[in-house]
Amino acid sequence: MLVLGIETTCDETACAVVKDGKEILSNIISSQIDLHREYGGVVPELACRRHVDVIIPIIEEALKQANIALKDIDLFAVAHGPGLIGALLIGINTVKALAFALNKPFIGINHVEAHLYSALMTHPQCSPFPAIGAVLSGGHTALLHMKEPTEYTLIGETIDDAIGEAFDKTAKILGLPYPGGPEIERLALRGDPHFYSFKTGKIKEKPFHFSFSGLKTSVLYTVKKQDSSMNHDLIIPEERKKDVAASFQKVAFDDIIVKIKLAATTYQCDTIVWGGGVTNNQYLRNQFKLECPHLKSLWPSLGLSLDNAAMIAGLGYHVFTKKGFGDSLALKAMTRIPFI
Ligand code: KG4
Ligand code: ZN
């Protein structure tokens, strides 16, 4: 089955052609980082306009690279949430129009679930279930108990900022460019992770939930001034920035690693399926291996860790096969999709 996937949840316009849920024939990603960098974060209106401009050329490129004609596509899959409402609508309406015109089925996919499918696609020979899924991205931080590629239970999530958002905001405080995650990782390489004692939030009686907004604020008050705003000048010497980056990164990942370890014990799982852009972080990968040598990790490959459409097409194949039919034209864009 040839599936064409489309992803427009935030600031990447992506299209991919995937065969039978695993063989990636093309995976085209048009990033908007250049557009949003000068604002230090994603500007939704600009994101939507760029999606509209590039979506058709991106689809054409994905078909060309896959050497497939549009009429040969068996199923269309689209990320229908969670994400920016306007951005989602562009992908969804494109897919609805294509499917309607060609008289083919289409299916809406949960972007967060698809991030976990990226790791399964990277390791097609592994059948890790039951497993703990960890989605660490710019918009989401979630721990899931995974029973199969399409069946999950949410066991924990962030109650405020997502982990990637915390990296991006900390980078902004330090005057580093967007997206901040890779910048913090690079700067932290030279820093002392014990120089500052930052803390993550604890949530009463919710051992698997996360809170990163207090951590971001304590970084702000440490490097600028108590009760200051983002625009205040730094009150620490320039050479201390690397220690801020290292201390922030350590405390954020310590929190995540402790909770994943506890989830693996509680739910008796020995494999962690990782997803989302933050999993590109090499410090996290090394630290997890060091602290949890008994747990096996399935990491997404580099091309599948950030937002992409191959994960949407891949998961689309499984969801459609399991359900036996596609969605109707009533499929809605959803800014949030609760896990059942
Ligand atoms: O999964 P993704 O492409 O987008 C969302 O679904 O949100 O993840 C983007 C996020 C950004 O916040 C970015 O700063 C972060 O992933 N990121 C990293 C690294 N590479 C990307 N965070 C920490 N370390 C990295 N190396
Ligand atoms: Zn994402």
46 Cβ contact list (under 8 Å, min separation 6): 32, 35, 36
Distance CA 86, CA 93 (A): 11
Q: What is the pLDDT of residue 233?
A: 83
For residue 130, the one-letter residue type is P
136 contacts 304 by C-beta, under 8 angstroms? no
Tell which phi-psi region holds residue 175, choosing left (phi > 0), alpha (psi between -120 and 50) or beta: left
Q: Identify the nearest ligand to the CA of 29 by its number.
A: 1
Residue nearest to atom 10 of ligand 1 (CA): 138
Q: What is the pLDDT of residue 340?
A: 58
Distance CA 133, CA 152 (A): 9
Helices assigned H by DSSP within the chain? 33-37, 44-66, 85-102, 111-122, 163-173, 180-188, 213-223, 241-266, 282-291, 302-305, 310-323
> 32: Cβ below 6 Å to ligand 1?
no
In order along its 340 residues, the chain shows pLDDT tens digits of 999 999 999 999 999 999 999 999 999 999 999 999 888 889 999 999 999 999 999 999 999 999 999 999 999 999 999 999 999 999 999 999 999 999 999 999 999 999 999 999 999 999 899 999 999 999 999 999 999 888 999 999 999 999 999 999 999 999 999 899 999 999 999 999 999 999 999 999 999 999 999 999 999 999 988 777 777 788 899 999 999 999 999 999 999 999 999 999 999 999 999 999 999 999 999 999 999 999 999 999 988 999 999 999 999 999 999 999 999 999 999 998 876 5
> 188: Cβ below 6 Å to ligand 1?
no
* Residue 225 CA, ligand 2 centroid: distance in Å: 33
> 31: Cβ below 6 Å to ligand 1?
no
Q: What is the pLDDT of residue 60?
A: 98
Handedness of CA 135, 305, 169, 55 (dihedral sign): negative
Give the ligand 1 atom nearest the CA of 307. Answer: 3
Q: What is the pLDDT of residue 199?
A: 95
Distance CA 318, CA 298 (A): 19
> 164: Cβ below 6 Å to ligand 1?
yes
* Residue 169 CA, ligand 1 centroid: distance in Å: 12
Per the confidence metrics, is the pTM higher than 0.75?
A: yes
Give the ligand 1 atom nearest the CA of 171. Answer: 14
